Amino acid sequence: MTQVSEAANAPASAADAHSDTPFDAQGATEEVLFDVTGGIGLMRMNRPKALNALNLNMIRLMNEKLAQWAADDAVKAVVIAGAGDRAFCAGGDVKTVALDAKAQAEGKSDGALVRDFFREEYTLNQRIHAFKKPYISLVDGIVMGGGKGVSAHGSHRVVTENTLFAMPETNIGFFPDVGGGYFLPRCPGQTGVYLALTSKRIKATDTIYIGFGTQFVPSEKLGALLAALQAVEWDAREKPVDQVTQVIESFSAEPPCESEIAPNRALIDRYFGHDAVEQIIADLQADGGDFANETLTAIYGMSPTSLKVALRQIRQGASLSFESVMTMEYRLSQACARSHDFYEGIRAALIDKDRQPKWDPARVADVDDALIEGYFKPLGENDLAF
């Protein structure tokens, strides 16, 4: 998931560079468009006005199609892209989910959407992670939250000069889900914790630095890249993943932007290596430098409960299988949906839009560790299992 309104305000540098590429869906009404050409199954998320944010219908369509393509020998690889000129996918349709959670708390809903959305989204994430064919994400534009979930777990993530990546869930009273508990602890050093606790937005160079982006290709070449993939003469003597890599590499270049993370890597590893949010904050306060102060300002805006949940999630996820992480994250999703901070975060960002969430508790020091423990408790027969 993600904070869609935050994404909507993100700068779209050179965002119109691919307005005439095959990823636009002029006149199409389907929320996901599918096509098979030359052994390439193409999925194009098609809600450009909503920055291609995922709803339950899209998740179901993609789950069904990927299951079909996994069993279809004519499909050698899958490409996923977003329609429009601003976003690959800005995340999940969090407002609808939060409203259902609130209605459930008030006895006006059975909470089916809250249960089904996360269960089926995480099932889609696991399907992508286990997909045995090349899975290529063309990440042109905003990619946040759920957009990471439908890209990060495949074999190739092509980024462009327009790519803007973040996991901003702690800013809406949630946690970095869709496999964040698997991906983030496997980022270099403590960079994954840093991204989760600050909602830091990064560009192409840093997506490659943390291991999200696998290749950089200029946005204007994405149409030609797709055509080249569709024209591959699949050789049974070569692995499809190697053939795909060769094609992508023939279009790849060095990203134009400089890293923001690398110059601060030593500080990130020093301060975000703690297992307690309180200690991270204390060390940053003691530093007093520009990076520390900027980082503290970001952390102070997040839900204190979410900060603690996210840190524990990442620490536990470091030693878990992908499937076990998804089971853990489903438990967390249901607990967060029942919490004060999730609806409050969505209210402040997407409903009233006052940008002034009233977190409860309001300070990290006041978040009871027993409360956090409860977020991780098994759900019995309602647990997500694979």
3-state secondary structure of 70: helix
pLDDT exceeds cutoff 80 at 12: no
Domains, the chain, ordered by start = 4-382 (3.90.226.10)
State yes or no: is 301 an active-site residue. Answer: no
| pLDDT at residue 1, as a whole number | 61
State yes or no: is 64 an active-site residue. Answer: no
pLDDT, average across residues 37-61: 97
Q: What is the pLDDT of residues 142-160, one digit of tens each?
A: 999 999 999 999 999 999 9
Q: Report how many helices (DSSP H) and strands (DSSP E) the chain contains, helices first.
A: 17, 9
State yes or no: is 373 an active-site residue. Answer: no
Confidence bin at 341 (pLDDT 50/70/90): very high
How many other CB atoms are there within 10 angstroms of residue 106's CB atom? 8
| pLDDT at residue 118, as a whole number | 97
pLDDT, average across residues 311-330: 98
Q: What is the pLDDT of residues 197-210, one digit of tens each?
A: 999 999 999 999 99
Choose, from 39, 82, 141, 146, the residue flagged as catalytic: 146
DSSP structure string for 267-327? HHHHHTT-S-HHHHHHHHHHH-SHHHHHHHHHHHTS-HHHHHHHHHHHHHHTTS-HHHHHH
Confidence bin at 295 (pLDDT 50/70/90): very high
Choose, from 140, 177, 206, 344, the residue flagged as catalytic: 177
**Nearest-angstrom CA–CA distance, 366 and 208:** 37
pLDDT, average across residues 286-311: 97
State yes or no: is 146 an active-site residue. Answer: yes
pLDDT exceeds cutoff 50 at 249: yes
| pLDDT at residue 27, as a whole number | 52
What percent of the chain is predicted at pLDDT more than 90? 91
Q: Which amino acid is at 115?
A: R
**Nearest-angstrom CA–CA distance, 184 and 151:** 14
Write the DSSP symbol of residue 342.
H
Q: Where is 336: in which H helix or E strand? A: helix 322-337
Choose, from 85, 169, 206, 344, the residue flagged as catalytic: 169
Contact 157, 151 (CB under 8 A): yes
**Nearest-angstrom CA–CA distance, 100 and 109:** 7
Question: pTM for the whole thing?
Answer: 0.92
Name 94's bridge partners.
Answer: none
Q: Which two tokens stand for residue 359?
A: 């977190």
**Nearest-angstrom CA–CA distance, 318 and 311:** 11
pLDDT, average across residues 335-340: 96
pLDDT, average across residues 220-228: 98
The packing angle between helices 112-130 and 94-105, to 10°, is 140
**Nearest-angstrom CA–CA distance, 337 and 377:** 14
pLDDT exceeds cutoff 50 at 358: yes
Choose, from 39, 92, 181, 213, the residue flagged as catalytic: 92
| pLDDT at residue 29, as a whole number | 73
Dihedral Cα 248, 253, 255, 261, nearest 10 deg: 70
Confidence bin at 7 (pLDDT 50/70/90): very low
